[in-house]
Homo-oligomer: A and B are copies of this chain.
Amino acid sequence: MFKGADVKGDGVTSSQRVLALCGGVGGAKLALGLSHVIDDEKLTIVVNTGDDFDHLGLRICPDIDTVTYTLAGIVNPETGWGRAGETGSFMDALSMLGGEDWFYLGDKDLALHVERTRRLAEGESLSGITAGIAQQLDIGPRILPMSDDPVATMVETTSGTLAFQHYFVRERCQPPVTGFYFDGIEAAKPHSDLLGILADSCLDAVIVCPSNPFVSIDPILSLPGVRQALRDCSAPVIAVSPIVGGKAVKGPTVKMMAELDLAPTSVEVLKRYQDILNGFVLDKRDINDLEQLKTMVDYVEITDTLMLSLDHKIALARAVVDFARRC
C-alpha cells in the first residue's frame, strides 16, 4: 500500500507519510520514535485537546505540551511530562498568596501557558500557536491539535461528574469511573488538515498511539466526521496497544477498564477501534490475546511495546511503520 516509500536502514528516515493520533505521555513517546523514523515534513501528530482547561486564567493544554516538550527534547525524563530542570518558585509563591495550587505549574512550563493564553486572546488559533511554538523549539514534525474548537472531557464517576483535570490531578483518579462524555464535541470541527490528510491518497499510514483509549483517543475519534474519515481512509490504520502485560504503562487506563467492567486486555482496547483498524500491534507479554485478536482485525503484529529508552522508541516506531507497509 505504500507509494514508492521505503523504510530505510538504521538512522535514516523514511519518506512514508504518516499521521499519528495521540494523547500525552505514552503517545508522545511513540511520536518521538516516529520523528526519528519519518521525514519531518511527512509526519503529522494529531493531539487530543479534551484534557485542555482554563486554570488561573490560563489556557492549559497538557497533551499538546507533553508532545511539544518530548519532541523538543526538553521533557522531564522522570515524569514524561513537564520540563526537565523545572523550578517551583511560582507555585510556592502562589500558595503563599492563598491561590489555587492543586495543579502543579512549573516556572518554565508556565511560560508556555502565559504565551499561549496571550496569543489566543489576540485571536490566534490553537493550531497556529502550537505550530509557532514548535517552530521556535526547532521541532520538525507537525503537531496538530485535533480541533481549534474547545472540547472538554468530562468524567462521570460514582461521586458525580468531574472535569478531566479535576478527576485526574485534583482527585488523583480515585472516584470510580462510570462513563465519559466530551463537552462541546458536537459543535467542534476537527482541524481541516486532519480531514485533509486522511482524505489524501498520498497518506501511507495512520497510527493510533498507545494512549488511553477513553480519554486520549476517543475524543479525537468522536469529533464529527473523524471516525468515518478513518474508515474511508486509503492508508492502513494501525493501533498500538496501550496494554503491556495486562497493565497500563502509565495512567489510569486499566483502573478505568476495571471500573467499567472491562477485562484489562488488548482485546478490549481493539474493540473500541475495530471499525477503523487494519492492523493491531500487541505487546509480546500479552501473547495470550493473539488468537482472539486475529479474529477481530486483518493484521496483528507482536513486538515489545515498552518504550524505556530512545532506542526502544525508535525501534517500536520502525516496527510499526514497517508493519503498516504489510497491512
A residues neighboring B (CB under 8 Å): 56-58, 83, 86-87, 89-94, 96-99, 106-112, 114-115, 117-118, 121, 132-133, 136-137
User: Is there an interface contact between A136 and B58, defined as CB atoms closer than 8 Å?
Assistant: no
User: Is there an interface contact between A97 and B115, defined as CB atoms closer than 8 Å?
Assistant: yes
Q: How far is the CA of A99 from the CA of B132 in the complex (A)?
A: 11
Interfacial chain B residues near A89, Cβ < 8 Å: 86-87, 89, 106-108
Q: How far is the CA of A137 from the CA of B276 in the complex (A)?
A: 57
* Chain A facing B: main interface SS: helix
Interfacial chain B residues near A117, Cβ < 8 Å: 57
Interfacial chain B residues near A94, Cβ < 8 Å: 111, 114-115
Interfacial chain B residues near A91, Cβ < 8 Å: 111
| Nearest CB on B from A206, distance (A) | 30
| Nearest CB on B from A79, distance (A) | 17
Q: How far is the CA of A106 from the CA of B56 in the complex (A)?
A: 17
Selected A-B contacts with CB under 8 Å, 13 pairs:
A57-B118, A58-B114, A87-B89, A87-B107, A89-B106, A89-B108, A90-B110, A90-B114, A93-B110, A93-B112, A96-B111, A99-B115, A107-B107
Chain B residue at minimal CB-CB distance from A89: B107
Interfacial chain B residues near A111, Cβ < 8 Å: 90-91, 93-94, 96-97, 99
Interfacial chain B residues near A57, Cβ < 8 Å: 57, 114, 117-118, 121
Oligomeric state, in copies: 2
| Nearest CB on B from A114, distance (A) | 5
| Nearest CB on B from A66, distance (A) | 16
User: Is there an interface contact between B107 and A93, defined as CB atoms closer than 8 Å?
Assistant: yes
| Nearest CB on B from A295, distance (A) | 49
Most B CB contacts (10 A, CB to CB) among A89, A91, A117, A118 go to: A89
User: Is there an interface contact between B56 and A96, defined as CB atoms closer than 8 Å?
Assistant: no
Known: A56-B114, A57-B118, A96-B136. 7 other contacts (CB 8 A): A56-B118, A57-B121, A87-B107, A91-B111, A93-B109, A94-B115, A97-B112
Chain B residue at minimal CB-CB distance from A135: B98
> Which of B96, B109, B132, B136 sits near A137, CB closer than 8 Å?
B96
Interfacial chain B residues near A83, Cβ < 8 Å: 93
Q: How far is the CA of A118 from the CA of B90 in the complex (A)?
A: 15
Q: How far is the CA of A196 from the CA of B118 in the complex (A)?
A: 38
Most B CB contacts (10 A, CB to CB) among A56, A58, A97, A133 go to: A97
Chain B residue at minimal CB-CB distance from A115: B99
Chain B residue at minimal CB-CB distance from A117: B57
Most B CB contacts (10 A, CB to CB) among A57, A99, A132, A136 go to: A57
